[in-house]
Amino acid sequence: MNTKSEWRDPLWPESKPTSTAALSASNRRVFSSYFSCPAQLLCALLLLSVALAGCSSKGEKPAPPPPGVTVTPVVKKDVEIRQEWVGTMAGNIDADIRPKVEGFLLTRLYSEGSFVEKGQALFQLDKRQAQAAVEQATGDLERAKAALSQAEIDVRRYTPLVAQRAVSQAELDKSLSLQRAATASVEANQAGLDNARLNLGWTSVTSPIAGIAGVSKVGIGDLITPNTVMTTVSNVNPIYVDVNVAEQEYLRFRRGGAEKAKNLELILGDGTIFPQRGRVLFVNREVDTRTGTIQVRGEFPNPGNVLRPGQYARVRAVTEVRKDALLIPQQSVAELQGIYQVAVVGSDNKVTIKTVKLGPQFHDMWVVESGLAAGENVIVDGLQRVKTGVTVAPAPFKDTQANALPGDK
């Protein structure tokens, strides 16, 4: 009995050496018997379709859709070119308050930072010494008047006596000389009294102008001399703004006409525009050779004394009017090492990168000097995703101030 068991494939019978024809017939019978079941045939077809799909997926992928960009046409219109300069405000009168006489400071009579009227008392000095000088001058004047009165009596007495030859002519001449000397002494002492009274009045330090009084620079009890600056009073309505303008900008501004010199805008430190318009008051006589700038002073009404000396502000003015200027949004321009480029979309939706020369700014736009033509479409959003020759899907861009401004051509 054979203990070895042989494994046989139930589908494939044991093969024996046969002829080629017999082998082919045997294979056909085995294949037919293998796929004789419909379920097995269905499974084979499914496997075949999956294999074919896998092979087709390894082929060429479809082209991606063109990138979406927003475009806007190059605008052509007349524009006013504005220039800005940083300036410093100054009062039209800045008066340093100094006393005329020397004395100890007793009282400050004003509120610091308040508006004071012309002639208003600001400080009071010790006036006892000045009062004593007035009294002394008064006494000297009375003594001189008494001497004059005596000289006049002598002249009246000697005049008839000389005619009667009772008194010599020399005595009369002497009396006349004393009378003239006494008259001069009275006048001198009267001037001394007037000066003493002035010094007494100057112990009350007053403001020579109406304006804003600054912080007191002296304290109570200080010995004040005529060289001491006690405070400063500034007249700030109107107020001055001094700016330094480059020579080229000054020439453009002058060619713009006198009307532009009467329509200055003032931009304050918080970015707001001062409601009052100003005018050019004067232009300095010379250009600073070190900086190439010239000083220009503007004058602005300042009702309510809102603006104060020392403030910084920007002065804006129209320097020229560009006829038929070409405008594009600032965000449509790419800058690399001083070279400015824009992406232009043609009628076939293909991109062309162009180098442009830019001029001054106008609101949120650039003025284009050269490199573009009116009506060309430039890319605003999506500039980083394109290059020359790329096909794009353009959409209109509307967020630009030029679309809201009149004068489109």
* Calpha distance 238→145 (Å, rounded): 53
Contact 75, 368 (CB under 8 A): no
Residues spanned by the domain of 147? 128-200
Q: Are residues 149 and 179 in the same domain?
A: yes
Please check whether residue 159 lies inside any domain of the structure.
yes
Please check whether residue 63 lies inside any domain of the structure.
no
- pLDDT tens, residue by residue, 97-135: 999 999 999 999 999 989 999 999 999 999 999 999 999
Is pTM beyond 0.85? Reply is no
* Domain final residue pick, 321, 352, 385: 321
Q: Are residues 122 and 160 in the same domain?
A: no
Q: Are residues 219 and 119 in the same domain?
A: yes
* Calpha distance 108→97 (Å, rounded): 13
Nearest to 322 by CA among 113, 129, 117, 78: 78
* Domain final residue pick, 303, 321, 339: 321
Range from 27-36, 49-58, 73-82, 291-300 carrying the lowest mean pLDDT? 27-36
Looking at residue 233, its pLDDT comes to 94
- On the question of pLDDT at 32 being above 80, the answer is no
SS3 282: strand
Number of domains in the chain: 4
- pLDDT tens, residue by residue, 254-282: 776 655 677 889 999 888 999 999 998 88
CATH code of the domain covering residue 210: 2.40.50.100
Crossing angle, helix 128-163 and helix 169-202, to 10 degrees? 160
CATH code of the domain covering residue 377: 2.40.420.20
Please check whether residue 138 lies inside any domain of the structure.
yes
Distance linking the first and last C-alpha atoms of the chain = 113
Please check whether residue 240 lies inside any domain of the structure.
yes
Please check whether residue 38 lies inside any domain of the structure.
no
Residues 6+ apart with CB under 8 A from 361: 330, 367
Please check whether residue 149 lies inside any domain of the structure.
yes
Q: Are residues 104 and 225 in the same domain?
A: yes
Residues in the chain: 409
Please check whether residue 340 lies inside any domain of the structure.
yes
Mean pLDDT of all residues belonging to the chain: 81
Contact 203, 130 (CB under 8 A): yes
Q: Are residues 328 and 317 in the same domain?
A: no
* Calpha distance 195→198 (Å, rounded): 5
- On the question of pLDDT at 79 being above 90, the answer is no
- pLDDT tens, residue by residue, 193-224: 999 999 999 999 999 999 999 999 999 999 99
Looking at residue 126, its pLDDT comes to 93
Contact 290, 218 (CB under 8 A): no
Looking at residue 41, its pLDDT comes to 56
The dihedrals phi and psi of 344, each to the nearest 5 degrees, come to -105, 130
